Structure 1
Amino acid sequence: VPTAVSALMQRPVDADISSVKTAFSGSAPMPMELFKRFESACGVAIVEGYGLTEATCLVSCNPPGGEKKVGSVGIPFPYTDVRIVKQTNDGALECGRDEVGEICVSNPGVYAGNTYTEADKNVDLYYQEKYLRTGDLGRIDEDGYLWITGRAKDLIIRGGHNIDPAEIEEALLGHDAVAFAGAIGQPDAHSGELPCAFVELVAGASVSEAELLEYCKVHVHERAAIPKHLTVLDELPKTAVGKVFKPDLRKMAITRVYNGALEQAGVAARVVSVTDDKKRGLVAQVAANGSSDADINGVLNNFTRPWEPAAAA
């Protein structure tokens, strides 16, 4: 996975790897800078592919012996049909070439209507009752290569404008001091969400948060996507397979933004934790500290994420 490759790049190549010809990468799009850094240091060709458990693993792959398109996840395997679908007021429509939408997959491993044993999880999970809705965003180019652009649920929605966090993350990973990066939408009373970023530095590297924000102003090309806040962490939270675990980053951002708003309003209440509710999503747990519900509502009801009184210790 790209995070594992990034970790490897923090260590010297001190072994004989001449017998290794190809390295396969999946689970997340690989930033171009990391791709170049790995191939230059190791002399090993990277082949990017795409798959998911719900489709019984592999969906597509760059041809190991054919044309590779860096950043794409290649062409679909035989007997695999991939459609790119967008949701409109008129229902689901298929996208044109190079148009971004949700990746939907039909192959012998997709058992439509029975992907999960819990029946409610299969509701609205298929396009045309055949194609698995993956929740991944992507596009298919004119040569039939599939490109993943992000996760539908990871999109940062700023005042109705969709921002792909991958643009921010790729820009930050181009900085020599940055090992890992994660971009999310932090709560905002006016725009709903604003982009913010979290980074983990290369071992021994030193750079300030202010310097990285200035770097973003140059290297994040969409003005609306430039992070409004950046935090350097000793280590980013990651999943068992090495992906940056964004729910934890969202919890940090909610805590920081809500507590900042409460402090600015002169309200003593504070967010003490953020929990994940199955129906409501992330919910801020607030200790009143003598503040009334009306005072807290007057501040936090300006945001879309809910809050509730924290349980007594």
Structure 2
Amino acid sequence: MSNLLQKIDSRTKLVGENRLELLVFKLAGQQKYAINVFKVREVVQMPELAALPSRHSAVCGVAHLRGSSFSVIDLQAALGRAPLFESGKPTNLIISEYNSSVQGFLVGQVDRIVNLNWEAIIPPPVTSGANNFLTALAKIDELFVQIIDVEKVLADIIPYNTNVSGNILDSSLKIWAQQNDIKVLVVDDSTTARNQLKSTLAECGVGCIQASNGAEGLATLKRLADQGPINDAIMMMITDAEMPEMDGYRLTHEVRNDPELAHLHVLMHTSLSGTFNQALVKKVGCDGFLSKFQPDEVAQVIQEQLSALKAGIEG
């Protein structure tokens, strides 16, 4: 298992080139699933777990590994199926980091790592419904691999706080934003993440235009720019890093190379963390970087932009 991930650090260079690598695995059946390698720290055989009182039904317990402790989530149970933890089948543990938090995912057989272009990743069918746990599909060896929306899985187990602290909000700016119909473009393939941002923006008095991937986001920007100056339509763009068809890095690159869009304020809002990602978002031309999901920090950025916009309009 260690051989499977020993080159993971060097492979992170693919991020920003509209490419990704997926760690492919199974649960109890033959269907294959995947998550982004860049969010995976390690894959190990299932260790002994400590019991966790008053736990969510999908949480198996707590693992202690290399001096740290973290919750272990039965991914099959989290998807609403019979727990894999109690099946008696061989299991493995994927240790991952999302939104600056470490957790383990209990899975079945770990298959391999595959290298794909984001253009080969497609959104799930509309008929899958709003409550599904898929963020995308990838066709590998003529079979569709389901890419898990980990943010939704985590939000269902430990709901994210979307409320902005009262001492952060500026009521006068909120009223001004509402009166002037200020909007922000939010680009993210996770419905959960888009709804979280929409809620936070609403607390700041700001409306939300949504796009579910970078290609859709870029098309939206070009459509708005065709109707007039882009800053007349939106104040800024908040984009995720990893998305089907076009990732946030490529989207930002395209924005910076379009004369009608180049001056738009772009905030990268991603569950990827670390100094590597911060350096990369700066390289592609983002104005800022925030790790998901921190409503107070999002609100502060929004209000800074509102203040600057208000000052520019009112002189």
TM normalised by structure 2 equals 0.27
- Larger RCO, structure (CA 8 Å, separation 6 or more): 2
Compute the TM-score of the two structures, normalised by the length of structure 1. Answer: 0.27
Instruction: Name the structure with the higher helix share.
Output: 2
